[in-house]
Amino acid sequence: MASSSSPAPALAGEALRQKRILSSKLYLEVPSSKAPVVYSPAYDISFLGLEKLHPFDSAKWGRICRYLTREGYLDKKRMVEPLEASKEDLLVVHTEAYLNSLKSSFRVSSIVEVPPVSLVPNWIVHKKLLYPFRKQVGGSILSAKLAIERGWAINVGGGFHHCSADEGGGFCAYADISLCIQFAFVRLNISSVLILDLDAHQGNGHEKDFANDGRVYILDMYNAGIYPFDFTAKQYIDQKVELVSGTKTDEYLEQLDRALEVCSIRFQPQLIVYNAGTDILDGDPLGRLKVSPEGVVTRDEKVFRLAKDQNIPLLMLTSGEILLTQVCGPFL
């Protein structure tokens, strides 16, 4: 008779995870005529005006892509549209209990930090709010495949780094970073991933999901004086750079240079998942840092240069037109 410490349940759970990943339809075959830039008009959230009650700009993804096409950086026909992540896809990381909790509008309202959402029928919440998130999850998962195939890829969305397997928060309802990495382990035959999280906030979701997982190295550079104050998740960061509110461009870039140098010595990944948050910009109401637009561009150039010099595929999760046009424009 198996003891309580038997590995059998864990092995069965891993087998089910692999089965779900292998049967998923999210890994589309993308023709070479398409650019490795993933986006869908369904990413944008328009929710009876309630989305405007949160300082997070939930319509920026479409605005960015319209800017890219208007300015001639990218033909919209060359963008790749992902599929929506299904329940079976989400169960690769998320618990059944967590997904069931999203059937409560009150629960979703606490995750997106917009209390009036609790008063909206749940089917509307799923259609107007959670469906766009699931499309972005599909985009992140597909973008990892494109990054391995092309050397780099961008999902103009995603980066929901506050969500873990069993808990959402901070406007993050699904754990797309954890999901795209788990898919990559199984479908892309890789075994080492660097999460480079340069959003202004601590990426507590993926940190909890990959606690003590030696295949994943997390470099998180964030403002320690703002949300989420997750001290449990902090212990799972392999390399943390804690900034203070008001950190300016030169200091930010100096700390980044040192961090990237250390990271390059400690860990040699087969894929970089780069959460390129734009909330480090001076004036952002949530990030509270003082990095100039030019500083943000320099930040991303450093990451692209690191990936290129070491010949490491790079997946970029971003939502900034400055980054896409000035850093990625030459590749498009």
Catalytic residues: 162
Task: Choose among 260, 266, 262, 265: nearest CA to 314.
Answer: 260
Q: Which residue has the tokens 């930090």?
A: 113
